[in-house]
Structure 1
C-alpha cells in the first residue's frame, strides 16, 4: 500500500508512515485510536520504541530498508505507548518511494500465550459440538416429515414445484446430518475434490429463495472463466449460506454474489499466482460497531435470537482452504470477501513440440507486488426467486448484523 498522507489518513485501516530511520512521521486516526494515543503524540517516536523490546520489528525494518521486494509481515506484534495497554496486530511493512516505511496494522484479539489462529478452531469446535447434540433429533423429525409429504405429493401430478422443494429439504437435511456426524465423531479432514464454485453458489441461491422468497433480490455477477479448484463443496456451501443468511437477517433487500480471479495475491505468508475472490454484498443494516473487533469469534451475535456461530464457522472454513475471510461495512452497504487460492490445471504438452519449447524471454519469474487483476466477467444478472416461496477488515458500524 502506498499513497500520499491525505489518502492514507482517510483509510479505516490503522496505518503509520515512518521516515528513513524508523521514526513515526505521521499516522491516520485509525492507527491513533487503535493505540489509544493522540496522533500528534505519536509523531517523532521511533516505532521500535513501542514494541516492548521485541527484536522482530527491528529486524523487519532493516530488511525493508535494503530490500525493495514484497511487503514483510510481522505476526502478532504487541505495540504499547508508555503507560498504555499493549495492542496486538499483524504488521505489514513496505518501503515507500521516499525511503521511509509504510506500516499497516491488522489488529488481532489477544489470547494470552496463544495464537488466535490456533485458539479459534478449538473454541468453535467445542461450541458446535454442544449445538450438534441439540440438533440431531429435530433434524430427524424434519427428514421424516419431508419424506411423508413427498410420498403424498407423488400421488398427484400437478405439483412439480412442491416435489422440487421437498427434494431440496430432504437433501439439505441429509447434508446437515452429515456435518453434525463429522462434528460429533472427529475424523481425518475430508479430502478435497475438484469443484465449480458457481455450482456451489447456485445451491446457496436456492436456499436463499426458499428462505426469503420475493423479499430479497438476488443478483449473480459471475466470472464464467474461473477454473475448477480443489475444495470441500459441502463446507464451502455452509460457509457461504451463513453469509447470505446473515445478510437476509440484517434486513437486506438486495444481495449480490460476485466472483473474480485475483492474480499475484498474497494470502498469509504465501504468494499465489491466482486466487478466487468471492464477494457477498448487501444493503442491510451493517455490523454493529461494538461487534466489529469480535465478529468472527464463536457465540458473538448482534441478535437476541442469534447463535453467534455462523461467521465463526465461515472463518474456520476459509482457514481450512488456506484462504481469508474479511469484511467492510457501513449502514446500507456490507461486503464480505472470501479469498481462496486456486490451483490452475496443468496445460497439455505436445510431446512432439516439447523439445522445442524455450522459456519466454520476457518472463523474469517475478510476480508484481500487490498486483490485482480480474478476468473479464459476465454482466450481472438478477436471480428470480421461486414464485410464492415464503472500510476495512473488522471496521464497521450499524445495527443488526448477526455473528
Structure 2
C-alpha cells in the first residue's frame, strides 16, 4: 500500500491517493476503517468507483479543468457494502489525485423537514390565513373568464391558459391548507412522471418574462410510479424557477431508470432519476452547505423556501434530492424509488 504524505497514517481524516489514471494507489488507515472494508478492496480500484450515487466525481476526473472539486454529502463506498456519507475535496496533484473525506456523521446535516422553528411556522400559518381571501377572489375571476371563453369555441389557446390558471389556484389553495393544518399527506396514486414534467413546462411557458430554452431528454420506457403528482410538480417547478432565477438560458429535463441505487442509505432495486440541468450562475459556495434549509437564498428578494419544499417532497416519496454545481453547469437530481409492482411503460 502506497502512502502519499509523511504523517498521514496518524490523521483521523480519511484520505485516498490516486495515480494519473485515477486508480487508487494509497490510503491512510482512517479511510478503510471509515468505510468498514479491508484495504485490499480499495487499492487498484478506480477512484470514481467509490461514488455510489451520482457522477460528479467521475466527470471531474475525466474532463474538468479545475484543480479542486468540493463535494457536498457524497455517498462513498464499495459495491455490496452500505455507503458512507461525507463532504469531500478532490485535489489535482503533480502525479494524480488526492481525495479527502470529512464524514457526515461527524457533523449530521440538519433535517430540512424539521428545520423550521416554531416562530417561523406560526408566521407561515398567519401568511397562509391572509392568502385565503385573495386566492378565493382569483378563483372566482378565473371561473368567470372560463365561462366567457366557453362562448368562443374557436379560441382553444385561451381556454387552455384559463384551465392552467384554475389548476394552479387549486394547487396554491391546497398549499395554503397544508400550512394551516397538520393534515396527513394524501395517499399516493399511480402517475406518469412525464405528465408531471409537461405540466411544469406549461407553467414555464405561461409565466413568460424569461429568455430560456427548455429541452426534453425523456426515457419513454419509464413505467408509472406511485406518488403525489401535485407535490412532485411543485418540487420540479421550484427547481426550474431556481434555474430561471440563476440566469439560465437552457434548462434540460432528463429522466432515466437505474438499478441498484442507494437512496438515503437504503438499497433500491430500481429507481427513477429526474435531473434538472441548467447553464446558470450556479450555487454560491457559501450556500452549498445549507442550500436545502428554509430561509437560505442567494437573492435578496428570495424566501429560501422553494428548495426546502422540494427536498421535503423528495423525502415524502422515500427519495432524495441532491445537486452538483459550478458556474454554467448545475444539476439537481431527484431520485424516486420504484416498487416491484410499478411496471408497464409510460406513454
**TM-score using structure 1 length:** 0.61
Structure (1 or 2) with the larger CA radius of gyration: 1
Choose the corresponding residue for 1:183, options 171, 179, 183: 179
Give runs of aligned pairs for residues 120-269 of structure 1, distance below 5 A: 120=115, 128-212=124-208, 215-269=211-265
Structure 1 residue ranges without an equivalent (≥5): 7-17, 29-42, 49-56, 74-88, 349-374, 379-403
Shift of 1:290: 2.0
1:91–1:105 contact (8 Å) kept in structure 2:
no
Show CA shifts across 1:232-291 (max 9, x none): 111111001111111112221211100001111011221111101100011112222221
- Counterpart of 1:305 in structure 2 is 301
Q: Is the 8 A contact 1:277 1:339 kept in 2?
A: yes
CA contact (8 A) 2:112 2:292 kept: no
Cα drift, residue 169 of structure 1: 0.2
Matched, 1:319 2:320: no
Are 1:65 and 2:61 an aligned pair?
no
Instruction: Give the equivalent residue in structure 2 for 1:83.
Output: none
Q: CA deviation at 1:121?
A: 6.6
Instruction: Count residues with an aligned counterpart.
Output: 291
The structure showing larger relative contact order (alpha-carbon pairs under 8 Å, at least 6 residues apart) is 1
CA distance in 1, matches of 2:15, 2:160: 63
Matches within 5 A, 1:2-401: 26=16, 47=30, 63-65=36-38, 94=77, 104-105=101-102, 107=104, 116=111, 119-120=114-115, 128-212=124-208, 215-345=211-341
Decide whether the 8 Å contact of 1:223 with 1:260 is kept in 2. Answer: yes
SS at match of 1:243: helix
TM normalised by structure 2 equals 0.70
The alignment yields a C-alpha RMSD, in angstroms, of: 4.2
CA contact (8 A) 2:223 2:343 kept: no
